[in-house]
Structure 1
Amino acid sequence: MAKSEKPRTKRRSPLWARLCAIFGCVLMVISGGALITSKALVARYAGAVETKDLFGNSAAGATKRPVSDIKGPVNILLVGIDPRDTSTAPLSDSIIVVHIPKGLKQAYLFSIPRDLRVEIPPFARTGFQGGTSKINAAMSYGSSTGDGKHDVAQGFDLLAKTVSKLTGIKKFDAGAIINFNGFKEIVDAMDGVTMTIDQNVKSEHLQPNGKPRPRRPECADNSCAHPYVGPQKEYKKGTYHLEGWEALDYVRQRYGLPKSDYDRQRHQQQFIKAMAEQALSKNVVTNPIKLDQVLRAAGDALIFDGNGHNVVDWGLALRGLRSNDMALVKLPGRSLFNGRQYIGEGLEPSADDFFASVNDDTIATFLVEHPDFLQKL
């Protein structure tokens, strides 16, 4: 596919953050694989990644847990956000739980719908009294520092407590916040990605040269379903090496597709697998220059809390994982309405059985008995 000028659009979508969160898991694995070839390089990466208390341990006066070897089963909470200034309350555009069973040989990833209506627990640090709302608001309710500013790490704490209440997971062993800006640099550092496009797709957002499509003046308030005009970038069926902006644009699209969001979700999963394969290929892991570019870019993308272990410790523990060891799980859900008004999403009762398998570390058995929970790529 011919290279095009990179887009300069400043618009972001929740999808960017979703991809950021999933790729955060891959980045931890890369850091472990890198130890095989360049310990000094990985040490640089560990120092570049920002670390914060994401689980409120300092505020709660919790005794620091002794650092020991990382052993399964473990649960990791990954949250993707669009970067905002500290005067704006953050929203978690993507919430992903990674469960790694005992033995650390497999990873199961499942997303929590951002519009899922849940019970958000009280949060003393902001005076939030608790209540029912969409889960992506939890980070916002927990982020206020009382001076008109907001702290995403503090907001993560309430979100983690909310996800724990929903899933029954008593504690998370690690957590990360991933932002779009750093993720874009990671994609560029990897020189794009090779992936198979399984259906013809037209871009709603970009022109063939990668520049943003013009917006109709009457759609400036985002009230239009199709606010753009002019020629569209097209993606044809086949296998291509896509530049970063092309791949990200392709997996954004849902308008005009036969199954809309379902097609888009499948394309996202295909992209995730392709990125994992590329990130863990010899072209990256055994190339010191390329690896340095990717890992340093990752340092700008992550805020990490490994509960006493840094990101390199986690990478070393997970160094045996590869893209084929990642199982992507879809939770059954439905849209909720109050009359004709859409109020969010709800999970089917069978999701509770899946959450029980997470806590019992029996996901493999559950998926054999419930293959419909596996995302088909």
Structure 2
Amino acid sequence: MSLSPQGRHTTDDHGSGGGPRPGKGGRGGGSRRRRRRALRWSATVLSVVILGTAGAGYLYYQHLNGNIRKGERSSGDSKAQKSQPNAAGQTPMNILLIGSDSRNSDANVALGGSRDNRGNPPLADVEMLIHLSADRKSAAVVSIPRDTRVEIPKCKDPATGHEYPPTNAIINESLARGGPGCTLATWQNLTKVYIDHWMMIDFAGVVRMADAIGGVDVCVNQNVWDRPLPKAPGGSGLKMTTGTHNIKGVQALQWLRTRHAWGSDLLRARAQHMYLNSMIRTLKSQNVFTDTGRLMNLAEAATKSLQVSEEIGSVKKLYDLAMQLKTVPTNRITMTTMPNVTDPQNDDHVVPDGANADKIWEMIRDDVPFDDKGTTPAPKKTTSTSQAAKAPSATVAADRLGVVVQNATRTSTQAPVPRRARDISQVLVEKGFSRAVFDSTAGLSEDQTVVRYPSADLEGDARSVAKALGIPMSAVKKSTDVSGVTVTVGSDWRTGSSYPKQSTPKPGDIPSNSDAINGSDTGQCMDVYAPYRW
């Protein structure tokens, strides 16, 4: 009896259960030895093939990792706090996408012109915040126009160690004052949104990526030619006829850089949003993530084109990030531009549009979807409902508690409200906090009123002060920047003795002047400014 390949017992030709004796003349023994030699040879060959393939794969993986350029996440003074997980333990993610106008290579000079700027620090001509919701079911993108005047914090260039003092300037200058980490810090201070990562791409990188993708559909309502005119030098060179065109390579860069032909930098952001939405739809329709050849081409282009913050500076981490972005359906992607108004100091610049801009940032901080196509997001984790609603008892009697009040009502468009710190400190005195005083420091600016405390033993005191003024408990923050309980009156509380009640933004309730475009809208088409039609 022997065991067949199928596992069944069989009887040999000799009729007995013993089978043939081993030896040179035995047919069964010879065939078994030949089978064993064949199996050993096959296993050896297979091992070599597997190891060789794995080795090649490892070498290619290391090659891709070697392509990636990395930098410091933040190189400036910034105090933004990370978002707390929701009830399901999920956390949103924020990524800053920066388009650099660097001319510091032959390729970028050839594509961007302006040879006189070679060697100058690059500026951030494109700046977009990508917000990926905690449940990874929606995404919001907010552009800030490059000519937006903002406060740029103190930054240190990680490459040279040079320190730049804080300044008030247009936001695209932040890149030249400490690299992308300074741009990130500037955004965080403006929005109070913690930004997890940054990615930066230059002219040559845009062309490389556009070619790897294989073309993206864009549309114009009139013939367009973005060329120099007698009173408007420069231009991207974009030239196309009315209708929809599939663009890639240099033409894609021209589309993304075009400004004059659309009529303004604000409309350039709209054209960029149309391109990105179309690109996302294209990638999804091509099933790139299941096509090994396409995926390798994109990986090669992406790792050569992008510079990223160091904590995502590996192929695996970038791939994991891409897979998270991939889960968002196109009809849950909303592209917007920060609501803005003309800068009163310079008609060529803009500044944030007060309450409308604040609302956009609040929705991102609270992970409120920009669209109304989803379910209500899970609430953030709190210790308990009763604790969130009720301030704990003070550890020090009100009349013995020292409280400092600061006036931070100044904004980029409005002067500070006079005597604001003095008035609110008096309100606290009337409520029993007899040791409340005001800080006369000028020039402070905060979008939202906040109560800060330096150590855990003062948390209860800070909450009692917030409760007395009607300030929500979410605005009570631990901070090493203060030595005692400190009320900083922000621009959201410019009048009145009691903190104004704030309405909670609802999904899809974005300001009308945010120029929103949904990712599934295939009917978007750019109007061409009359002088650039042909």
Give the TM-score band, short-chain normalised. 0.5 to 0.7
**RMSD of aligned alpha carbons:** 3.5
Q: Distance in 2 between matches of 1:84 and 1:261?
A: 20
Letter in 2 for 1:272: L
Identify if the C-alpha distance between structure 1 residues 50 and 110 changes in structure 2 by more than 3 Å, giving closer, same or farther.
same
Q: Distance in 1 between matches of 2:331 and 2:362?
A: 24
Are 1:297 and 2:301 matched, yes or no? yes
Give the structure 2 partner of residue 208 of structure 1: none
Shift of 1:367: 5.2
**Is the CA contact (8 Å cut-off) linking 2:144 and 2:337 kept in structure 1?**
no
Give the structure 1 partner of residue 347 of structure 2: 342
**Which residue, 51, 67, 86 being the options, matches 1:48?**
67
Identify if the C-alpha distance between structure 1 residues 183 and 226 changes in structure 2 by more than 3 Å, giving closer, same or farther.
closer
Q: Distance in 2 between matches of 1:137 and 1:261?
A: 16
**Is the CA contact (8 Å cut-off) linking 1:183 and 1:301 kept in structure 2?**
yes
Q: Equivalent residues in 2 for 1:173-192 (5 A)?
A: 173-192=196-215
Letter in 2 for 1:55: S
Identify if the C-alpha distance between structure 1 residues 121 and 48 changes in structure 2 by more than 3 Å, giving closer, same or farther.
same
Are 1:358 and 2:364 matched, yes or no? yes
Taking only the aligned residue pairs, the percentage that are identical comes to 24
Q: Equivalent residues in 2 for 1:149-164 (5 A)?
A: 155-164=179-188
Letter in 2 for 1:354: I
Give the structure 2 partner of residue 204 of structure 1: 226
* Count of aligned positions: 295
Identify if the C-alpha distance between structure 1 residues 225 and 269 changes in structure 2 by more than 3 Å, giving closer, same or farther.
same
Identify if the C-alpha distance between structure 1 residues 193 and 202 changes in structure 2 by more than 3 Å, giving closer, same or farther.
same
Shift of 1:264: 4.5
Residue aligned with 1:327, SS: strand
Shift of 1:54: 2.9
Shift of 1:252: 4.7
Are 1:95 and 2:127 matched, yes or no? yes
**Is the CA contact (8 Å cut-off) linking 2:73 and 2:310 kept in structure 1?**
no
Shift of 1:276: 1.3
Shift of 1:53: 2.4
Identify if the C-alpha distance between structure 1 residues 227 and 175 changes in structure 2 by more than 3 Å, giving closer, same or farther.
closer
Letter in 2 for 1:91: L
Give the structure 2 partner of residue 312 of structure 1: 319
Residue aligned with 1:369, SS: coil
Identify if the C-alpha distance between structure 1 residues 183 and 71 changes in structure 2 by more than 3 Å, giving closer, same or farther.
farther
Shift of 1:75: 1.2
**Is the CA contact (8 Å cut-off) linking 1:71 and 1:103 kept in structure 2?**
yes
Give the structure 2 partner of residue 77 of structure 1: 96
Identify if the C-alpha distance between structure 1 residues 367 and 103 changes in structure 2 by more than 3 Å, giving closer, same or farther.
closer
**Which residue, 219, 232, 244 being the options, matches 1:225?**
232
Are 1:375 and 2:398 matched, yes or no? no
Identify if the C-alpha distance between structure 1 residues 160 and 297 changes in structure 2 by more than 3 Å, giving closer, same or farther.
same
Q: Distance in 2 between matches of 1:281 and 1:43?
A: 29
Identify if the C-alpha distance between structure 1 residues 260 and 74 changes in structure 2 by more than 3 Å, giving closer, same or farther.
closer
Identify if the C-alpha distance between structure 1 residues 93 and 102 changes in structure 2 by more than 3 Å, giving closer, same or farther.
same
Residue aligned with 1:225, SS: coil
Shift of 1:138: 1.5
Shift of 1:44: 6.2
Residue aligned with 1:270, SS: helix
Shift of 1:111: 0.8
**Is the CA contact (8 Å cut-off) linking 1:201 and 1:253 kept in structure 2?**
no
Residue aligned with 1:102, SS: coil
Shift of 1:254: 5.2
Shift of 1:133: 0.9
Q: Distance in 2 between matches of 1:256 and 1:78?
A: 24
> Unaligned stretches of 5+ in structure 1?
1-37, 61-69, 143-154, 206-214
**Is the CA contact (8 Å cut-off) linking 2:197 and 2:312 kept in structure 1?**
no
Identify if the C-alpha distance between structure 1 residues 308 and 302 changes in structure 2 by more than 3 Å, giving closer, same or farther.
closer
Shift of 1:314: 1.8
Can you list the C-alpha shifts for 1:81-135, whole angstroms capped at 9, x where unaligned? 0233394212111111111121112110001121111111123553322121111
Shift of 1:181: 0.6
Q: Distance in 1 between matches of 2:212 and 2:134?
A: 33
**Is the CA contact (8 Å cut-off) linking 1:46 and 1:312 kept in structure 2?**
no
Identify if the C-alpha distance between structure 1 residues 53 and 225 changes in structure 2 by more than 3 Å, giving closer, same or farther.
same
Give the structure 1 partner of residue 493 of structure 2: none
Identify if the C-alpha distance between structure 1 residues 308 and 370 changes in structure 2 by more than 3 Å, giving closer, same or farther.
closer
**Is the CA contact (8 Å cut-off) linking 2:96 and 2:197 kept in structure 1?**
yes
Letter in 2 for 1:128: Y
Letter in 2 for 1:72: T
Give the structure 2 partner of residue 110 of structure 1: 142
TM-score, length of structure 1 as denominator length: 0.67
**Which residue, 132, 136, 140 being the options, matches 2:176?**
140
Identify if the C-alpha distance between structure 1 residues 44 and 287 changes in structure 2 by more than 3 Å, giving closer, same or farther.
farther
Can you list the C-alpha shifts for 1:287-328, whole angstroms capped at 9, x where unaligned? 322322222111111111263672123223333124333211
TM-score, length of structure 2 as denominator length: 0.49
Are 1:280 and 2:287 matched, yes or no? no
Shift of 1:185: 1.3
Give the structure 1 partner of residue 397 of structure 2: none
Q: Distance in 2 between matches of 1:185 and 1:232?
A: 18
Are 1:119 and 2:125 matched, yes or no? no
Can you list the C-alpha shifts for 1:206-247, whole angstroms capped at 9, x where unaligned? xxxxxxxxx79xx7xxxx41568xx9943212x443344444
Can you list the C-alpha shifts for 1:53-87, whole angstroms capped at 9, x where unaligned? 23249x99xxxxxxxxx952111111110233394
Residue aligned with 1:280, SS: helix
Residue aligned with 2:141, SS: strand
Identify if the C-alpha distance between structure 1 residues 174 and 232 changes in structure 2 by more than 3 Å, giving closer, same or farther.
closer
Give the structure 1 partner of residue 274 of structure 2: 270
Q: Distance in 1 between matches of 2:60 and 2:334?
A: 29
Residue aligned with 2:169, SS: strand
Identify if the C-alpha distance between structure 1 residues 39 and 266 changes in structure 2 by more than 3 Å, giving closer, same or farther.
farther
Identify if the C-alpha distance between structure 1 residues 200 and 51 changes in structure 2 by more than 3 Å, giving closer, same or farther.
same
**Is the CA contact (8 Å cut-off) linking 1:107 and 1:325 kept in structure 2?**
yes
Residue aligned with 1:162, SS: helix
Report which structure shows greater RCO (CA 8 Å, sep ≥6). 1
**Is the CA contact (8 Å cut-off) linking 1:117 and 1:133 kept in structure 2?**
yes
Give the structure 2 partner of residue 63 of structure 1: none
Identify if the C-alpha distance between structure 1 residues 250 and 236 changes in structure 2 by more than 3 Å, giving closer, same or farther.
farther
Give the structure 1 partner of residue 241 of structure 2: 235
Give the structure 2 partner of residue 22 of structure 1: none
